Amino acid sequence: MSTLQVRRMTYAALFLALAMVLPFVTGQIPQIGAMLCPMHIPALLCGFMCGWPWGMLVGFVAPLLRSVIFGMPAMFPGAVAMAFELAVYGGVAGLLYRVLPRKKRNIYITLVVSMIAGRVVWGAVRMILAGLSGNSFTWALFAAGAVTNAIPGIILQLVLIPVLVIVLERAGLTLNQQRDT
């Protein structure tokens, strides 16, 4: 195993740990804690920093593992749908960040495209899961879950993630562009 692979695995473990802990931190703000979407941030950052495979893996595992360990989010349908959503966040962020030229605006483009793609996948999975359980998943439920209830989290992600990516990139901690040797 190369040094780069070990570093990626270490970063991914750090992002997974953050996904486990951040909901406890934001949960201290009862009015908007869950609306800050704390598990989304590590999945997106892992994609940016480690690349799409690691971002996708951490995004998929984080809600399922948190559900098993802490009981939140509820496994069905919450954690299952969120697993696919966060996998898309990490995967798309890692892929686009790798292929687009290194410009600040492309960090925002990558972030917005990742967030939209993840929310669309979340809605599709929720619709499938609702159908399997004999329930319905309406456009109003999608809009509320993907947009309205998530506005504080969307704002936080749009402000925080580009700053963190720029700082980590300047510090030479981004592993997404590097090749395994």
Helices 104-132 + 151-170 axis angle, to 10: 140
Asked if residue 55 lies in contact with residue 42, where contact means CB atoms within 8 angstroms, the answer is: no
3-state secondary structure of 7: helix
End-to-end CA distance of the chain: 9
Identify the residue whose tokens are 């309205």. 148
CA pair distance 46, 15, nearest whole angstrom = 6
Amino acid at 166: I
The DSSP result for 87-155, as a single string, is: HHHHHHHHHHHHHS-S-HHHHHHHHHHHHHHHHHHHHHHHHHHHHHTT----HHHHHHHHTGGGHHHHH
- Specify the CATH class of 3-170 in words: mainly alpha
Alpha carbon separation from 95 to 55, 76, 90, 98, 177 (Å, rounded): 9, 29, 9, 5, 10
The model's pTM is: 0.93
Identify the residue whose tokens are 């790798």. 98
CA pair distance 91, 144, nearest whole angstrom = 24
pLDDT tens across the length of the chain (181 residues):
899 999 999 999 999 999 999 999 998 887 788 899 999 999 999 999 999 999 999 999 999 999 999 999 999 999 999 999 999 999 999 999 999 998 999 999 999 999 999 999 999 999 999 988 888 888 787 888 778 888 999 999 999 999 999 999 999 888 887 665 4
